[in-house]
Structure 1
Amino acid sequence: MPAPSPWWTPHVHADRRPFLLSRNRIQASLREFFAERDFVEVDTATLQVSPGNEAHLHAFATEAVGMGGDKTPLYLHTSPEFACKKLLAAGERRIACFAHVYRNRERGPLHHPEFTMLEWYRVGESYEALMRDSAKILGLAAEKAETGTLTFRGSEVDPFKEPERLSVAEAFERFAGIDLLASIDRTGATDRGHLASSLKQAGMRVAEDDTWSDLFSRVIVERVEPHLGHGRATILDEYPVAEAALARPTARDPRVAERFELYACGVELANAFGELTDTVEQRRRFEGEMTEKMRVYGESYPVDEDFLAALALMPEASGIALGFDRLVMLATGASRIDQVLWAPVPEAAR
């Protein structure tokens, strides 16, 4: 079977060009959206001393070579988050950033090794303000793509309807019949045995080496996500503290955090936090994430000490990361992420 034509082949580009022009219109409208709300657009460095400290995110590593031949390890960032929060510590109040970000071990219809992340932050405002932003952005993207519907793989969403708001605990109960919070104590510590028993009762697979986090993720992927964002968008809210490494606990319940994810057409579009600013707690969480990464993948990433120092100065804020390319996909009806990228990264020959 012959290999598919490269993206730069004229007939392939002609098929992709309508998606790309819509992308430009959506991006321009979002820049205007943030400017009208007094956000400052910032541009962060791609090279960082740490790519982030989440166990299941994988980075591209490189090194800086000095004039004398000395070498310093560096990484392509997986998110502009650390740099953006340093800018909040420096005194910025509302910032937005379109950043090219890089994630290894990810390629498929919804994943690309290099993609565009849209992040924005609000100092002194709750993460519920980000929910309202997200709802407006869905409608704005649809308008600029000249459609009234977001679509992906046969699922449709009315982008002008108010999103459904559903807590993770409610979703576990509704879609899996599992009492999630019964496996978490008031300190946020998790009970693997209790959750494993609940999964078995729900008819789900449990392996001997599954951690609590593995079991949590299995329920999310197999029982919860297939039901989210159909007809209207879904805001999946209040993740367990153990699954929200950069978010602060809610005032209502210390077992869960101010974290939500936005879904449309079954696709995860955005991840938002009421930002954690406790330096000691943040270090503890980073170290826990890297311990888990070493256990699962045999590698870990350094902690950005500069970031932790800045966190001590950072004011209370909320922040969100949205996969811009995925938003364009849903607004234009594209079936693969490479259709909405001007110049996709070539796939390795098999």
Structure 2
Amino acid sequence: MPAPSPWWTPDIHADRRPFLMIRNRIQAAFRRFFEERDFVEVDTATLQTSPGNEAHLHAFATEAIGLDGSRAPLFLHTSPEFACKKLLAAGEPRLFCFAHVYRNRERGPLHHPEFTMLEWYRAGQSYESLMQDSATLLGLAAEVAGVSALTFRGKTVDPSLAPERLSVAEAFRRHAGIDLLATIDSSGETDRDGLAAALRAAGLRGAEDDTWSDLFSRVIVERVEPHLGHGRATILDEYPVAEAALARPSARDPRVAERFELYACGVELANAFGELTDAAEQRRRFQEEMAEKMRVYGEHYPLDEDFLAALAIMPEASGIALGFDRLVMLATGASRIDQVLWAPVPETAR
């Protein structure tokens, strides 16, 4: 069976080029958006001592070889988050970054091993300010692309409409009939057996070795996400503390955190936090995440000690990571992420 034609053949490039030109225009418009609001664009290093410390994020590993032949492990970052927060600690009050990021074990219509993350941070401002930013950028992407709606697989979003704001607890109640907060105590500790029983009552299956987090994810994927971002965007807000390793607890309810995700056309576009600045608590959460990674995958990543030290002087801030390529897909009507990437990573032989 012949191999598929590569992206650089003139006929395939001709099909992809309209998407790519719109991508360039959207990126230029986004840069103007941030510059007009006194953000500074930063360019962070791709090589890091730690690629991130979330259990289910997988990195590409490499090593640095010194002049004396010594070797030290390095990783391609999964997000510029640690570097951006160090810059907040250094005194930058508003910053944004278009970063190429790298995630292993990910490939599909919405996933690529190398993609572009747009991150921006606001020192001294609440994460609600990021909700307004996000809504404005959805509209700006559509305007630049010359469309009135964002589209994907027959689903549409009118970016002129204000996003729906929906708490995770309300989404569980509405779409699965589950009282999520009944399985979380005031310290943030979770009740695995209680959530498993709630899933069974809702007609959802779970494996015997599923953790509370596994069960939570099952409900999100099977019952909640299919209802998000139809007609207008959805802001899925107030994730449980156990599902928000880098976010601070809500002042309103310590069981949940200042974290939201943005959905449009059923596609997750962005993940935002009111940033956690307690270094000791952040270390504890990272250690828990890496213990889970070791349990599930048999590997773990080192902690970035510079990052943890920077948290001690980092100001209160909010930050968000938006999958730029995915938003371009929705604005152009592309069906696969590789259609909006200038030079996709070749698929390896199976």
Cα deviation for residue 2 of structure 1 reads 2.6
Kindly indicate whether residue 338 of structure 2 is the aligned counterpart of residue 338 of structure 1. Answer: yes
Residues 188-218 of structure 1, C-alpha deviation per residue, up to 9 Å, x if partnerless? 0000010000000000002110000000000
- Percent identity, aligned pairs only, is 83
Kindly indicate whether residue 224 of structure 2 is the aligned counterpart of residue 234 of structure 1. Answer: no
Partners of 1:238 and 1:2 in 2: CA distance: 49
Cα deviation for residue 3 of structure 1 reads 2.2
Give the SS at the match of 1:74: strand
Give the SS at the match of 1:281: helix
Amino acid paired to 2:230: H
Cα deviation for residue 181 of structure 1 reads 0.1
Residues 142-179 of structure 1, C-alpha deviation per residue, up to 9 Å, x if partnerless? 01111111000110000111000000000000000000
Cα deviation for residue 349 of structure 1 reads 2.0
Which residue is equivalent to 1:110? 110
Give the SS at the match of 2:85: helix
Count how many residue pairs are aligned between Structure 1 and Structure 2. Answer: 350
Give the SS at the match of 1:325: helix
Which residue is equivalent to 1:121? 121
Cα deviation for residue 331 of structure 1 reads 0.2
Give the SS at the match of 1:272: strand
Kindly indicate whether residue 135 of structure 2 is the aligned counterpart of residue 135 of structure 1. Answer: yes
Give the SS at the match of 1:293: helix
Give the SS at the match of 2:247: coil
Residues 227-284 of structure 1, C-alpha deviation per residue, up to 9 Å, x if partnerless? 0000000000000000000000010000000000000000000000000000110000
- After TM superposition, the score normalised by the length of structure 2 is 1.00
Partners of 1:19 and 1:218 in 2: CA distance: 34
Amino acid paired to 2:101: V
Which residue is equivalent to 2:23? 23
Kindly indicate whether residue 83 of structure 2 is the aligned counterpart of residue 83 of structure 1. Answer: yes
Partners of 1:293 and 1:112 in 2: CA distance: 21
Which residue is equivalent to 1:210? 210
Which residue is equivalent to 1:146? 146
Partners of 1:30 and 1:237 in 2: CA distance: 24
Amino acid paired to 1:43: D
Which residue is equivalent to 1:175? 175
Give the SS at the match of 2:16: helix
Which residue is equivalent to 1:219? 219
Partners of 1:98 and 1:337 in 2: CA distance: 17
Partners of 2:2 and 2:231 in 1: CA distance: 39
Give the SS at the match of 1:135: helix
Give the SS at the match of 1:112: coil
Residues 26-48 of structure 1, C-alpha deviation per residue, up to 9 Å, x if partnerless? 00000000000000000000000
Which residue is equivalent to 1:50? 50
Partners of 2:67 and 2:160 in 1: CA distance: 56
Matches within 5 A, 1:2-21: 2-21=2-21
Residues 81-136 of structure 1, C-alpha deviation per residue, up to 9 Å, x if partnerless? 00000000000000000000000000000000000000000000000000000000
Partners of 2:7 and 2:143 in 1: CA distance: 27
Partners of 2:148 and 2:42 in 1: CA distance: 31
Which residue is equivalent to 1:155? 155
Amino acid paired to 1:212: W
Which residue is equivalent to 1:243? 243
Partners of 1:70 and 1:117 in 2: CA distance: 33
Cα deviation for residue 4 of structure 1 reads 1.6
Give the SS at the match of 2:118: strand
Which residue is equivalent to 1:313? 313
Which residue is equivalent to 1:327? 327
Give the SS at the match of 1:98: strand
Partners of 1:87 and 1:65 in 2: CA distance: 27
Kindly indicate whether residue 46 of structure 2 is the aligned counterpart of residue 41 of structure 1. Answer: no
Amino acid paired to 1:81: E
Partners of 2:108 and 2:257 in 1: CA distance: 30
Partners of 1:310 and 1:223 in 2: CA distance: 39
Question: Structure 1: any 5+ residue segments left out of the alignment?
Answer: none
Amino acid paired to 2:40: V
Q: What's the Cα RMSD here?
A: 0.5
Cα deviation for residue 78 of structure 1 reads 0.1
- Following TM superposition, the consecutive aligned residue runs of length 4 or more in structure 1 with deviations greater than 6 angstroms are none
Partners of 1:240 and 1:349 in 2: CA distance: 40
Which residue is equivalent to 1:287? 287
